[in-house]
Amino acid sequence: MSDPTTIRRLYGRRQAFALRNRAQRLVEELLPTVAVPKEGPLDAARLFGKACPLELEIGFGKGEHLVAHASARPETGFIGCEPFLNGVTGLLGHIEDEGLTNVRVHDGDALNVLERLPDAALERVYLLHPDPWPKARHAKRRFVNPGPLDLIAAKLKPGGEFRLATDHPVYMRWAVMQMARRADFEWLAEHPSDWETRPDDWPPTRYGEWAAGEGRPIWYFRYLRR
């Protein structure tokens, strides 16, 4: 079956509008200093110059969730992957404003980064409000598919955590179905409130707050790597 690991092109245009002065400066000056290297193996030492725990967010939007974690846990290295340049500039603005040194940015497909990390390198992987690709013929483009999940499972440490959030009912049902087929993940939920309520240590995203304001339910899934 085709999925994102074989299609290798999940996104359309990379830029929604022209970059303004500060955004352009951040791309030209700050991004090169915090960018994930484009080629070669990756590990904490190469990314941060030292051994440290690593976490990765797939599609960070404007970066609010990633920045909240990075600010709260400066001893952890965070890798953010986002193909849309306007989102990248949002995260760069936060990095500059808060003086964060524990964030690295990949302005492209997260698969490219995941594939170059050592197995069992990550403490957590976050996938928050991914594109649902709601039409059945587009299901192969959803990140929650066997190929990407195999890769996430390989890169997470045993006991590591995969966090997924969606406000789209089609994606929610698809994700539950895909994850239920796997023996390498345990769903950390005992009651409906465990996936219907955002956990205290799960910072909100701008998109999530907008969806909640529109009255849409959001489902929060936590899976433990066995």
Q: Are 116 and 88 in contact (CB under 8 A)?
A: no
Instruction: Say which DSSP state 138 is in.
Output: G
What b/e sequence results for 8-29 when a residue is b if at least 16 CB atoms lie within 10 Å of its CB, and e otherwise? eebeeeeeeeebeeebeebbee
Rounded to whole angstroms, the Cα distance separating 124 from 68 reads 15
Task: Enter the tokens of residue 203.
Answer: 């910072």
For 10-75, the DSSP string reads --S-S-SS---HHHHHIIIIIHHHHBPPSSS---HHHHHSS---EEEEES-TTSHHHHHHHHH-TT
Task: Enter the tokens of residue 85.
Answer: 């340049």
106: β partners: 81
CA 146 and chain centroid, separation: 17
| Residue tagged active-site, from 3, 109, 119, 131 | 131
Closest by CA to 115, choosing from 41, 185, 44, 51, is: 41
Active site residue 200: no
Residues with active-site annotation: 131
